[in-house]
Amino acid sequence: MLTRDLIEAIHPGPIDDPGVAIELASDEELAASLAEFLRQRPDRGPVWLFAYGSLMWKPELPVIEQRVATVHGWHRRFCMWQWRHRGTRERPNLMLALERGGCCHGVVQRLSSRGLRDQLAQLWKREMIGRGYRARWVQASTPAGPVHAIAFVIRRDSARYAGRLPDETVADYMAGACGYAGSAAEYLLHTWQAAERVGVRDRYLHRMQALVATRLQALGARCTCSDGRQAQQE
């Protein structure tokens, strides 16, 4: 099982970031994208955000209401390269995005109508600046009925799209990746725990945390063995 102690034994802290690993969208590009997205708004009701990854545990926006929700036609997958934040060019990470097919269980978060445009601009700067996601309006099923929600899905035309890599390969990358914001394993741990807290038992997240935990344990064993040999030589 993946734990904080296991992660910190391999990744004790963030690493320096030279700030050149990825080309970022400009403020003008983000503003134009948001304006076009809002023109496609399906109704004038409350604005909901579908959270399936870090937005579940770190929304950074005022959330008025939250409901467990399911979106059909999309599933969560670690399919987006990340060369900054929680990875580097030398040790890239893979981030969650929504990929076509199946369904995804997460939560919808209702945003405050006060200062909504500014909130969405902040959200766009967080999620869209790396040009890996595409924003879509999706219909999410909730216990209180369906709602239209904002969802961030993978851009298959982006250089950041990794495709459908085997879970074992994804776990290899994630176990070794760390950036200025921390490790990839920490992101996975937070996401898995956040899903469990709201009652979302996601088999994919459970499998990935187990695979990454196994690899971190192996890395720890190799480090211990190497230290022992070094001590004997001294």
Question: Which residue's entry shows tokens 């050149």?
Answer: 20
**Residue in the structure block whose two tokens are 């720890």:** 220
pLDDT digits (tens, 9 = 90+) for 47-72: 999 999 999 999 999 999 999 999 99
Please name the residues in contact with 108: beta carbons below 8 A apart, sequence gap of 6 or more: 48, 49, 50, 51, 66, 67, 69, 140, 142, 147, 149
Q: Is 127 in the active site?
A: yes
219 pLDDT tier (thresholds 50, 70, 90)? very high
Catalytic residue among 8, 23, 60, 127: 127
pLDDT at 16: 81
What number of other Cβ atoms are within 10 A of residue 163's Cβ?
9
- The domain spans of the chain are 4-219
**Token pair recorded at residue 126:** 């967080």
CA atoms of 186 and 194, how far apart (whole Å): 12
Which of these CATH numbers, 2.102.10.10, 3.10.490.10, 3.50.50.60, 3.90.180.10, describes 4-219?
A: 3.10.490.10
**Which residues are 138's β-sheet partners?**
149
Provide the pLDDT confidence category of residue 225 given band limits of 50, 70 and 90.
Answer: low
What rounded mean pLDDT belongs to the chain?
A: 93
Per-residue pLDDT reduced to its tens digit, 26-39? 999 999 999 999 99
